[in-house]
Amino acid sequence: MLLWAVPRGPVLPLVLLPVLLFVGCATPGAAPAPQTPSPTDATTTTPAAVPTVAFRACAGDPPRPGTTHLAPPASVGFPASPPDVPAMTGPVHLEHAVTLRLPTGSLLGGPGADAVWASSTSGAEPFPVADGPVDADVTVEVWDPGDGGRVAWLELSFADAEVVRWASVDGLGILTDGGDGGFWSPAAPPVDLEADGTLAPDDLGAAFDAYLAAADPPGRLGPLCLVRSTDGVDDGVVFSTGVGDGGYPTYAGYDAEGRVVSVLSDGGMPWETAGTTGGLPVGYAPLEE
């Protein structure tokens, strides 16, 4: 109801009639101007758009020259280990997975679930690999002893320069109880987490549902490597870790000028199967299956 409107009610006292008549005669046909309602203090908040996270199988093409430091042998074999480990031999090949753009010049790594949500549960800080935005060519070294294949090594290469030394990067190591690991851009927005960074109770979220659908398709063996994207922009990789659950170290490779030119994830194979230059990392210890 407008504020100036006279509500219906009891008849007006007679003493007010001359006043009303005078007003009516003075301005024939005029009506009080409607008042503009004053703006309210309430504001309308538009909900923030929820990022769409998707997964697809890594490309699987042979790497282009200059995009990887891996140079494995054509085949790798291991003798039997009594009482219950048979001899295993199989071919080795390289697959180019994807070229990731890292807008911050840095990288995050961890178990597969962290890569799916783009959130480091360990609290590790991004590892700098360049002074500015940089592309990372991701290459997977696959060893197949007849079980569908294993990720022996996974590399992110940042420059076509010779590695002269390797060093362990604790913040990029993978400790997994899901048999997978991943690397992702710190620019990727975390998804499906509560305000305090924890998961909603009993809900792994839409991103994890998308990951499971791509990683475990019905009726066939899932891919060893998946590309993660947010709203159509590739920003991470998730991959099967060598022999399943456990801890897998990650190494940074440096050139003669001290630049990081490679990041290498250890899938539990002997160091020489990577075929890289630069010698063993300081303190290197082979993983035991």
What's the rounded mean pLDDT across residues 16-28? 38
Taking only the tens place, the pLDDT of each residue in 90-110 is 999 999 999 999 999 999 999
Taking only the tens place, the pLDDT of each residue in 191-239 is 876 655 565 555 688 999 999 999 988 877 889 999 999 999 999 999 9
- Domain membership flag for residue 188: yes
Q: Which residues is 253 bridged to in the sheet? A: 166, 262
What does the DSSP 8-state code read for residue 114? H
Q: Tell me the pLDDT band of 9, cut-offs 50, 70 and 90.
A: very low
Segment holding 213, helix H or strand E: helix 206-215
Closest to 173 (Cα-Cα) out of 235, 105, 246, 64: 246
Q: Name the percent of the chain in helix, strand, coil, to the closest 5.
A: 10, 35, 55
pTM of the complete model beyond 0.85 = no
User: If DSSP codes are grouped into helix, strand and coil, which group holds residue 57?
Assistant: strand
Mean pLDDT, the chain, rounded, equals 84
Longest dimension (CA), the chain: 117
- Domain membership flag for residue 72: yes
- Domain membership flag for residue 139: yes
Q: Tell me the pLDDT band of 164, cut-offs 50, 70 and 90.
A: very high
Six-digit token pair at 43? Answer: 């504001």
Q: Tell me, what's the pLDDT at 194?
A: 62
Q: Tell me, what's the pLDDT at 22?
A: 36
Helices (H), 10-128: 17-26, 112-117
- Domain membership flag for residue 7: no
What does the DSSP 8-state code read for residue 283? T
Segment holding 215, helix H or strand E: helix 206-215
Compare 21 and 97 and report the one with higher pLDDT: 97
* Rounded-to-integer distance, Cα 4 and Cα 143, Å: 85
Total count of domains within the chain: 1
Torsion of CA 160, 162, 166, 170, to 10 degrees: -10
What's the rounded mean pLDDT across residues 14-22? 34
The phi, psi pair for 86, rounded to 5°, reads: -80, 165
Percentage above 90 pLDDT, the chain: 66
- Domain membership flag for residue 242: yes
Q: Tell me the pLDDT band of 64, cut-offs 50, 70 and 90.
A: very high
- Which range marks the domain in which residue 93 is found? 53-273
* Radius of gyration, alpha carbons of the chain: 32
Are the C-beta atoms of 247 and 173 separated by less than 8 Å?
Answer: yes
Taking only the tens place, the pLDDT of each residue in 68-94 is 999 999 999 999 988 888 999 999 999
Neighbours of 5 (CB within 10 A): 10
